[in-house]
Structure 1
Amino acid sequence: MRTVGASLAVVAVGITIVRNVPLNTALSRVSVASVGSSAAWNALDQRWSVANHARAAFAIASSVALMISLGGASP
């Protein structure tokens, strides 16, 4: 179960690196004061949110798997 938990954590980090970071970088290049800042966010919002929800789901699943793996451990 530890291997499953660790693998799920790696997937969560992978989603962050492959999807969220590039979208954040693209958004950081837009000036907040510019007229197009709202349009830029709207263009990225759907993709960022889907990736963020997937990342959260994998992180939660990882945490649960790792907690279950500790269930049989004695202090």
Structure 2
Amino acid sequence: MQIENGVLASEIPGAQWVKAQSSQGNGNCVELAKLDSGVAVRNSRFPDGGALLYTPDEVRHFLAAAKAGEFDHLID
């Protein structure tokens, strides 16, 4: 099955969604699921909404940039 960006998260077969342990459980979380082709991301407030798909390299680069503080200005 070819999965494309915007697919309903509930339609991704076998997806096991996880969120950060530091999540407050108030529905304002980003959840991720490992797929054969990479990682799917959804908004926990809309679990049946669309999911965005990223390759492992895209996730690796994003995480490195986030750890380096490159996006801190977006929430300060």
Same fold (TM > 0.5): no
When the two structures are superposed, what TM-score results if normalisation uses the length of structure 1? 0.28
Which structure would you say has the larger Rg? 1
Q: Which is richer in strand?
A: 2
Q: Which is richer in helix?
A: 1
